[in-house]
Amino acid sequence: MIVKAVRAVLLALVALFFLFPIFWVLLMSVMTNQDILRSPPSLIFEPTLENYVALISGQLDTSVGTLEVAYMRNLMNSLILGVGSVLLSLLLGVPAAYAFARFRFRLGENIAFTLLSFRFAPPLLVLLPLLFYFQQLGLYDTYFGLIWVYQLITLPLILWIVRGYFEDISEDIEHAYRLDGHSWLATFLRIAIPLARPGIAAAALLAFIFAWNNFIFALILGSSDVQPVTVGALAFITASGINYGQIAAALVLSVVPTLILALFAQRYLVEGLSLGAVKG
Amino acid sequence: MVELAQDRALPRARSSARDWLLPYLLSLPSLLVTIGILIPFGTAVYYSMERYNLAFPAGRQFIWFGNYISLFGDPGFWNTLQVSLLYTLLCVGIQLLLGLGIALLLVRRTWFNDVMSVLLILPLMVAPAIASLMWKLMTNPSFGILSYLLTLVGVERFPWASSPDTALFTVVLVDTWVYTPFITILLLAGLRALPKQPFEAAELDGVPQSFVFFRITLPMLMPYILTAGLFRMLEAIQQFDIIYAMTQGGPGDTLMVFQIQAYLSAFTYTNIGRSAAVLMVLWAITFLLSNLVIKRWLKLRERRHGNA
Amino acid sequence: MAYFEIDRLSKSFGKSKVIDNLSLSVRQGESVVVFGPSGCGKTVLLRLISGVLRADAGDIRIDGESIAHLGPDHRDVAMAFQNFALYPHMTAFENIASPLRARKLAEAEISRRVHELAELLRIDHVLGHTPRELSNGQKQRTSLARSLAAPPAVLLLDDPLRNVDAKIRYEMRLELPRVLREYRSTVFYVTQDYKEAMALGNRVGVLYDGTFQQVDTPAGIYGRPESIRIARLFGDPPVNLLPARPELSGDGRAKLRIGGSDLVGPPSLESLVGRDLLVGIRPEDIEVLTEPAEGAIAVELDALTPLNVRAVMLLRDGQGTEILASCPEDDRPPLSRGRRQVWARLDLGRALFFDRATEMRIH
């Protein structure tokens, strides 16, 4: 009985610690500045959407006048960078994952390992020289340049997860399809890919979340024109005079997409987060 | 009876060029990306051996290990090493304990526990930089809810990230908020994958709970704990986002971890050579750690796929 | 005229030679059963023929044309897999239609052929189902139908009855020859079940140690196995092997000393006098008698068990050597199960004589 009660109390504390910040910021985002600054804080207030309206219109009324903020642009950038890098990673990674799964060849293992080991290396190490290269090549401050660098995160993820799924497909099934008279390519497109689809979808979803949450790449390799919400939000919070409800609303907008995706993909998260290390 | 084939010259079996070329063609794009990573990496190694300051382009010169030598004589660097290690140990230690505790609370599959373990993923899905900003809002001295709650228990003006005494605590707290769920999820998967028999046997024999935990559960869970811990170590020693968003390494050099140090060296002090050298030291550490991780991980993977 | 030829094929993995200089010729329309214990290289041989693996040396020809350099999609070889290898994301219809789609047939023609085959194999009512919804028997028939859809030059059947239950296996064993005849296929049938090998092949190839040890009609393999190992692979209960050395008796005939008695051997034995032999006698060639009789040796009956509709008796001679005998359950001598003295008459005229050192049969 006591054990049960202790367990319940502990679980409540855990839930409180991990969920309260999200809840509280959500709450702040529908408060006016007066409500936020009220002391002591009160849960009784009239919710308002004006923070979101201001953010979406880009016209922020502050104590020092109207401020133009392109936060929507940051959101859009996050979307472009996330979708773009995942698509590119799928294009590059799925065929390679298939090659690594089906053929034992030296170079393949080496590529896979190099990519994997750089997934764990300090990103600045590559970003610093890339900044100079990008400036020379005209890739600095471009979506293309960033999407290319984002492959550092998204490609290993997709490569290793999808490879595992390809390995789980019975070789006999592909073999049978070849014997039916279909070309190698047809077999890849109509057998391997459809059968690995759940894995590909899960990997893509996770890769998107990781790309969306990235901060340092765009901080260094782009200006505000291409920077995602993670960098945008920081600039936003440090800009003076912005009211706190709007900051909270900006934070909510930046996390809601990934939170929703995460709830959809939670079944695959364990696997993806550990790159498949702990798959049952 | 076997009709023996006519005695022709025995042909060598040929394999068509497409056959062996195919895997290379398929992995070519990934190969190009890999090269795209390796080139800047090589450049960074070169930078680390150059006197290279953007403010004095004329002074650029190859100086072998000069940057490293001056790093090792620089108290700032030793501070960085110390802060990074402290940050890593605190984060990984606290999160392992907390994560294991929560996993044990959630291991029984009830409706409530399943919902909890899904909701627990949420902090992990918040971008670390954003998480830092969320906590910044909550610890704001004038309206932050946490600051207010502390006054209720008699702690006035808790300085959070603005004082050298509490800044480390604050960022470790944010890191813990974001990453503990990672460990919980991994260990939960591990706990649920453990074989049932030893526990049933222990229960039948009336073995005390604490003995079961330390002598059965913990040893069997150890591979998962090690994997999770190594993963976390690898990330924590490179932490940038949380600290940068919270204090940019301050106050003073309280939170001057490796990547922050390198970032500031390069972009505030324009000293590319020094920045690259700092990063190379960090890289050496992560290389060792990541090799451990990859090896463990491959072993697990092999066990799962068999050796066929 | 050889239609399908395997010519001195070899394949190694690392140091182990899995297929070693293997040759075989098959006539058009013939069914050859490849029989061998597990791990004998059957799977590798099928993969070499179907083109997923490349041989290290040797050639494979269909109708005189080498196919060794072709990919699996251009070989005109079809295969039914032991585990069926159906496409899980396609209906049974699409599974069967796959070879026809590869040949870009018109939709109506595809539909006609699939339905015709489905009817022949009695799966026309499940064509809309996905493999997950099919029973094992239906999966097996679907996989067979797929391999027959575009009649191949050579049809490979990889132990297709292994993963179905006894009833379906029995049905298919009867039905398969009819279906294969209908399609006039040249068939390469792999199995681990000697009864299947005996029932289905025009010829049986016994494969182990990387090559065919003997290729013959089922009766030929059973009656004239080349070696002790082959003799043991065919027959249940297995052949008895009794050590003996023929000697000339007074009347010039060869005699064998078995179980303490001298038995007169067939005339062919006379040339083997003085050699160390293992005499192979099939259990059904031993008659068990309750009374002493001319040419019967005294043995002890140890155990009596029914096997299918036959009775199997475990006998033991004076030296303690175990001998198995079997006869139809209805014809068995009136014996209770207890241990007792009986007499066994060995039909030496049907005995197989093996050299004790080489374990090869002496002709």
Averaged pLDDT, B237-258: 92
Q: How far apart are CA C143 and CA B22, in angstroms?
A: 29
Mutate to test the interface with A, among B26, B113, B186, B260 (most CBs of A within 10 A): B26
- pLDDT at residue B7, rounded to an integer: 36
Averaged pLDDT, B37-46: 91
pLDDT band for position B18 (cuts 50, 70, 90): low
- Decide if B276 contacts B67 (C-beta within 8 A): yes
Give Cα separations from C207 to C119, C159, C267 (angstroms).
35, 14, 33
Average pLDDT, chain B: 86
CA B222 to chain centre: 18
Q: Is A234 exposed, middle or buried (0-12, 13-18, 19+ CB in 10 A)?
A: buried
- Taking the model in full, what pTM does it have? 0.85
Averaged pLDDT, A173-186: 92
Please identify among residues 155-214 of chain A the ones whose CB lies closer than 8 Å to any CB of chain B: 155, 159, 164, 167, 184, 209, 212-214
pLDDT in tens, B185-233: 889 888 888 888 888 888 888 888 888 888 888 888 888 898 889 889 9
Residues C244 and C270 in one domain: yes
Give contacts of B8 with chain C, Cβ < 8 Å.
7
- pLDDT at residue B9, rounded to an integer: 42
Which CATH number characterizes residue C321's domain?
2.40.50.140
- pLDDT at residue A279, rounded to an integer: 41
- pLDDT at residue A240, rounded to an integer: 60
Question: Are the beta carbons of A173 and C102 separated by less than 8 Å?
Answer: no
Range in B4-13, B166-175, B251-260, C129-138 with the lowest mean pLDDT: B4-13
- pLDDT at residue B6, rounded to an integer: 35
- pLDDT at residue B3, rounded to an integer: 35
Share of chain B above pLDDT 70, in %: 91
Q: Is residue C279 part of a domain?
A: yes
Identify the domain containing residue C54 by its residue range.
2-233
- Decide if B131 contacts B174 (C-beta within 8 A): yes
pLDDT band for position B305 (cuts 50, 70, 90): low
- Count of structural domains, chain A: 2
- pLDDT at residue A271, rounded to an integer: 65
- DSSP annotation of B214: I
- pLDDT at residue C133, rounded to an integer: 94
Residues A33 and A113 in one domain: no
Instruction: Pick out chain C residues at pLDDT < 70.
Output: 1, 336-338
- pLDDT at residue B278, rounded to an integer: 95
Residues A19 and A103 in one domain: no
Tokens, residue B150: 């502390």
Q: Which of A68, A90, A116 is the last residue of a domain?
A: A68
pLDDT in tens, B83-118: 999 999 999 999 999 999 999 999 888 888 888 888
Instruction: Provide the Cα torsion B148, B150, B151, B157; round to 10°.
Output: -90
Taking CA atoms, what residue in A is nearest to C72?
Answer: A179
Residues C165 and C74 in one domain: yes
Residues A162 and A136 in one domain: yes
Q: Which of C213, C233, C253 is the last residue of a domain?
A: C233
Question: Are the beta carbons of B120 and A263 separated by less than 8 Å?
Answer: no
Identify the domain containing residue A58 by its residue range.
2-68
Q: Which of A26, A53, A68 is the last residue of a domain?
A: A68
Residues C214 and C340 in one domain: no
pLDDT in tens, A138-178: 999 999 999 999 998 899 889 888 988 898 899 999 999 99
Residues C106 and C221 in one domain: yes
Q: C144: which residues sit within 8 A by CB, 6+ positions away?
A: C80, C121, C157, C160, C176, C179
- Check whether B2 has a pLDDT greater than 50: no
- pLDDT at residue B108, rounded to an integer: 86
Whether residue B2 lies within 8 A of chain C, CB to CB, comes out as yes
Q: How far apart are the first and last CA of chain C?
A: 28
Touching subunits of A (3+ CB pairs, under 8 Å) are B, C
Total count of residues recorded for chain C = 363
Q: Is C306 exposed, middle or buried (0-12, 13-18, 19+ CB in 10 A)?
A: exposed
Residues C191 and C252 in one domain: no
Residues A83 and A215 in one domain: yes
Q: Is B139 helix (H, G, I), strand (E, B) or coil?
A: coil
Domain ranges of chain B: 1-36, 75-307
- pLDDT at residue A195, rounded to an integer: 94
Backbone angles phi, psi at C63, to 5 degrees: 50, 40
Quickly tell me which residue has 């049974």 as its tokens.
Answer: C92
Q: Is residue C362 part of a domain?
A: no
pLDDT in tens, A211-257: 999 999 999 998 888 999 999 998 888 776 678 888 999 999 999 99
Whether residue C75 lies within 8 A of chain A, CB to CB, comes out as yes
Q: Which of A21, A47, A68 is the last residue of a domain?
A: A68
Give contacts of B20 with chain C, Cβ < 8 Å.
none
Count of pairs with CB atoms under 8 A, one residue in B, one in C? 46
Average pLDDT, chain C: 88
Residues A140 and A237 in one domain: yes
Q: Which of C206, C233, C260 is the last residue of a domain?
A: C233
Nearest to B3 among C2, C57, C68 (CB): C2
Q: How far apart are CA C196 and CA C169, in angstroms?
A: 10
Q: Is residue A280 part of a domain?
A: no
Tokens, residue B165: 């005494």
Cα within 13 Å of Cα(A187), Cβ side? 23
CA A37 to chain centre: 33
Q: How far apart are CA C362 and CA C122, in angstroms?
A: 48
List the beta strands (DSSP E) in chain B: 50-51, 61-62
Touching subunits of C (3+ CB pairs, under 8 Å) are A, B
Q: How far apart are CA A210 and CA A81, in angstroms?
A: 11
Residues C280 and C144 in one domain: no
Averaged pLDDT, A15-28: 93
Instruction: Provide the Cα torsion C135, C137, C142, C143; round to 10°.
Output: 110
Which CATH number characterizes residue A170's domain?
1.10.3720.10
Count of pairs with CB atoms under 8 A, one residue in A, one in C? 63
ipTM of this complex:
0.91
**Cis geometry, peptide bond prior to residue C333 (ω within 30 degrees of 0):** no
Residues A140 and A34 in one domain: no
CATH classification (class only), B75-307:
mainly alpha
pLDDT band for position A43 (cuts 50, 70, 90): confident
Please identify among residues 101-130 of chain A the ones whose CB lies closer than 8 Å to any CB of chain B: 102-103, 105, 107-108, 111, 113-118, 120-130
Tokens, residue B203: 């229960």
Taking CA atoms, what residue in A is nearest to B296?
Answer: A277
Of A276 and C37, more confident: C37
DSSP code per residue over chain A: -HHHHHHHHHHHHHHHHHHHHHHHHHHHHTS-HHHHH-SS--S------HHHHHHHHTEEEETTEEEE--HHHHHHHHHHHHHHHHHHHHHHHHHHHHHHHH---HHHHHHHHHHHHHHSS-HHHHHHHHHHHHHHHT-TT-HHHHHHHHHHHHHHHHHHHHHHHHHHS-HHHHHHHHHTT--HHHHIIIIIHHHTHHHHHHHHHHHHHHHHH--HHHHHH--TTT--HHHHHHHHHHSTT--HHHHHHHHHHHHHHHHHHHHHHHHHHHHHHTTTTT--
Residues A94 and A226 in one domain: yes
Q: Is C281 helix (H, G, I), strand (E, B) or coil?
A: strand
Whether residue A181 lies within 8 A of chain C, CB to CB, comes out as yes
Residues C86 and C49 in one domain: yes
A268 CA: distance to closest CA in chain C (Å): 21
Residues A61 and A192 in one domain: no
Please identify among residues 196-235 of chain C the ones whose CB lies closer than 8 Å to any CB of chain B: 212, 215-216
Averaged pLDDT, A122-148: 93
Q: According to the per-residue pLDDT averaged within each range, which of B141-145, B258-262, C207-211 is highest? A: B258-262
Q: How far apart are CA B240 and CA C181, in angstroms?
A: 73
Q: Is residue A148 part of a domain?
A: yes
Q: Is B33 exposed, middle or buried (0-12, 13-18, 19+ CB in 10 A)?
A: buried
